[in-house]
Amino acid sequence: MFLTNSITKFGEYLCLMGRVMSLPERWRMFLKQYIKEMAALGVDSIGIVLLISFFIGAVICIQIKLNIASPWMPAFTTGYTTREIMLLEFSSSIMCLILAGKVGSNIASEIGTMRVTQQIDALEIMGINSASFIILPKILGLVTMIPMLVIFSIVFGFVGAYATALAGVITVDDLTLGLQHEFNQWYIWASIIKSLVFAFIISSTSSYYGYNVEGGSFDVGKASTDAVVSSSMLILFADIFLTQLLS
C-alpha cells in the first residue's frame, strides 16, 4: 500500500514537472513573476539565514574549543574544524533543511490556497499552463537565490566565530590561522552544487503538494506539513549521495 502510494505520487510528481518545464507563454509576465519569487523566497530569507548562521558559527567554535582543548592539539584546530563544518554541512544541508521549513511551507500553502479558491482553475480556463505559470518562477527563483544564501551563511558563520574570539574564547590569530589552514576552494563549490539540488527539491516538492490540494483550509495545512516533511527527507537522502559524489 505504502509502496503503491509512493510510486503513484512519484509518477504524479514527474507528470507535474513535465508540465512545469515548458517555455513561458509571455516572457514579460514570466520575468515579473521570477523577480517577485526571487524576492519572496530568497531576499526575504536572508534575515533568518544570517541570524541562524551567526549563532551556529559561534556555538560550533565554543563547543570545539571546550571539547577538544588539549596540549596535544594545535591551537588552530578550533578555527579549522569550524570552517570545515560550516563549509561542508551547515551552510548547504542544514541551512536548506531550515529553508525547507520556511520556504517549503510558504510555497505549499500559497499554491494550495490558489487551488481551493479556484485561482488555478481560472488560469486553466484562460488557456494558461497553470503549472508552468505558477511553479516555474518559484523553482528558478529559489535555485537562483540559494548560492547567495549559502555564501551569506558561510560568511556569517565565520562572523559568529570571530564574535566568540572577541569574547575571549579563542584568540583572533588562532581562529584566523585555523580558517585559512589547508583551505580547499572546491568545498565552497561543492556546497553551492549541493544547495542547488536541495533548492530544486524544496521548491518542486512543495509545489507538488500545494498544486494537488483537494478540499479546504484543513487540506492546505496538511499539504504544507507534508511538503516540509517530504522535502526534509529527500534533502537528507540526497545529501548522502551528493556528499559521496562530490568529496
The only residue of 22, 119, 180, 184 in contact with another protein, by rule CB under 8 A: 119
Choice between 12 and 121, CB closer to another protein: 121
| From 3-11, 120-128, 177-185, 197-205, span contacting another protein (CB under 8 A) | 120-128
Which segment (26-34, 87-95, 165-173, 190-198) binds another protein by CB under 8 A? 26-34
Whole-angstrom distance, CA of residue 179 vs CA of residue 158: 8
Extract the C-alpha cell encoding 112: 494550495
User: CB of 204: closest distance to another protein in angstroms?
Assistant: 21
For another protein, which residue of 3, 23, 126, 166 counts as binding (CB under 8 A)?
126
Q: Which of 31, 68, 122, 233 binds another protein (CB under 8 A)?
A: 122
For the residues of 41-66, what is the DSSP string, one character each? IIGGGHHHHHHHHHHHHHHHHHHHHH
Amino acid at 94: I
Look at the chain and count its residues.
247
Residue placing its CB nearer to another protein in the complex, 127 or 168: 127
Buried b / exposed e over 18-46, threshold 16 CB at 10 Å, is eebeeebeeeeebeebbeebbebbbeebe
Which residues of the shown chain bind another protein in the complex (CB under 8 A)?
25-26, 28-29, 117-119, 121-122, 124-128
